[in-house]
Structures are given as C-alpha cells and as structure tokens.
C-alpha cells in the first residue's frame, strides 16, 4: 500500500512543482514520514527530489541564467550543509508532547513541529496578495540563497523561498524554471551528502524498489508537467499547492504523521 501512496504523491506533486517551482519535497516528505522517521523521510525524499530535478535539467536546463545561478547557488550550497547538519542534531532530541487519540499514541517532536510551522508560513506567503507585490532585486539573491539553502538542508523545504526570490528577479518564465531546477540540484546534492549517514538506518537496500518507483513516478510527473506548461496558470497551481501544504503541516504538527 505504501508504494502506491508514495508513487501517486510523487507523480501529482511533480506535475505541480514543475509550474510552481516548489512542492515535490515539501509534500512528499510528510508522505514518506507516514512510513519512516522524519529525518529518514527527508533524506529519502531528497533522493527522489534530486533525481527528478536531474531529469528536468535535461528537459529545460539550457535556459539557466548563469549569473543568477552563481549569486544564488553558491550561498545556497554552504547554507544547506549547515541546515542538514542541524537536522541530524535535533532529530535525537526527545519528543515535545505525547498523547493518545483513537486508541493510538502520537508524539510531537521538535523537528516535526519546526517543519509544520515553516510549511504553514511558506504556504501563506505563497498565496498572500501582499507578498505577491514584494520585489526582491538581484542584489538580494545572496540572501535568498542562504535562506533557501539553510531551510532546504534542515527541512527539505527550499523551493518556496527560492521561488519568492527568483520570480521577482526579472527572469523569463523559462529561465526562472530552469535556474531554479539547477539550484535545487546543487542543494540536494549537498544535503544528501550529509544525510548519507542515515541511509543505513533507513534500510535503503530493503526499500530500493520503493525509492526507484517513487523516482520514476516523479520523473513521469515532470514529463507531463512540461506538456501542460502552456495550458495551466502559475497562480492556480500555487493556490492548490499552498492549500495542500497547510493541511499536511497541521497533521505533521499534531504528530498525526
């Protein structure tokens, strides 16, 4: 059952994230968290996210803006290393609260609570009309790289912040999508190198078929996303993703997943 749920989530969120610039990691991580501890879920999601973005580079990578890539991507790499290191430290902390409901025991951990708060904040920012008017000039790209990279390493959430800065930096639609994909790959590679120590405890070899299936589902979603590029508005996708993230973050924050 878990392979079906995870693959469906990977496929549909890959379609959504092709347009919005974020969504796959932030939605897929909580789905993985249903079946794995949260730190391992973030690490496994990173593998799927990285593989999916490599495929998207093949599709649209030629449109990357190299100047923006350097100014945003280099700070993001260093910051993602710090965020990933911090994640491994806080996951060993004791749970904040434990409670029982429906005859089952649930626990709220610090890392889940942090991720839930961030998901809600980023989701609200993404759809808030006032935030849509905020303009981040190219002089703010370094700051955007630091924020996106750090939270990408800590929680797997990097796209919402990255999109907020890149979409306001004067890039064309094609350059915006391509540049964001390349930056995401750089951050994913960095954080996965830190997460690698947890792959053994994740019994990666026993879940290899699940990981491959989720990756292929995400790649298929990216392919269909490219086909639908001219038919779907960016705003509608942003609203759908934001609503989904709020619902998931509430469940995650309450320890339900």
pLDDT tens-digit map of 177-202: 888 889 888 888 888 888 776 666 55
Give me the number of domains the chain comprises: 1
Give me the domain span that covers residue 172.
2-253
pLDDT of residue 21: 60
Phi, psi of 100 (to 5 degrees): -115, 140
**C-alpha count within 13 angstroms, C-beta hemisphere, residue 157:** 24
Instruction: Report whether 15 contacts 149 (CB < 8 A).
Output: no
Q: What is the dihedral of CA 127, 158, 47, 202, to 10 degrees?
A: -100
Q: What is the pLDDT of residue 140?
A: 79
Contact (Cβ atoms closer than 8 angstroms) between residue 72 and residue 145? yes
Under the banding of pLDDT at 50, 70 and 90, the label for residue 146 is: very high
Would the pLDDT of 79 be above 90?
A: yes
Confidence band of 45 (pLDDT split at 50, 70, 90): confident
Query: Among 177, 147, 158, 165, which residue's Cα sits nearest to residue 65?
Result: 177
End-to-end CA distance of the chain: 16
The overall average pLDDT reported for the chain is: 76
pLDDT, position 77: 92
pLDDT given for residue 82 in this prediction: 92
């Amino acid at each position: 059952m878990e392979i079906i749920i995870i693959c469906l989530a990977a496929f549909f969120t890959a379609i959504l994230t092709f347009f919005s610039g974020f969504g796959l990691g932030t939605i897929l991580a909580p789905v993985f968290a249903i079946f794995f501890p949260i730190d391992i879920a973030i690490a496994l999601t990173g593998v799927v996210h990285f593989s999916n973005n490599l495929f998207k580079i093949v599709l649209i990578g030629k449109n990357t803006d190299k100047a923006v890539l350097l100014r945003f991507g280099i700070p993001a790499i260093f910051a993602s290393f710090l965020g990933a290191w911090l994640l491994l430290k806080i996951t060993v902390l004791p749970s904040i609260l434990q409670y029982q409901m429906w005859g089952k025991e649930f626990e709220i951990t610090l890392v889940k609570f942090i991720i839930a708060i961030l998901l809600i904040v980023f989701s609200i920012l993404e759809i808030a009309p006032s935030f849509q008017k905020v303009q981040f000039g190219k002089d703010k790209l370094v700051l955007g790289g630091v924020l996106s990279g750090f939270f990408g390493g800590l929680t797997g959430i990097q796209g919402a912040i990255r999109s907020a800065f890149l979409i306001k930096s004067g890039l064309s639609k094609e350059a915006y999508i391509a540049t964001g994909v390349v930056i995401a790959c750089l951050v994913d590679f960095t954080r996965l190198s830190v997460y690698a120590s947890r792959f053994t405890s994740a019994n990666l070899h026993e879940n290899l078929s699940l990981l491959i299936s989720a990756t292929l589902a995400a790649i298929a979603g990216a392919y269909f996303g490219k086909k639908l590029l001219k038919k779907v508005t960016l705003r509608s996708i942003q609203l759908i993703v934001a609503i989904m993230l709020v619902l998931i973050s509430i469940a995650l924050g309450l320890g339900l997943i």
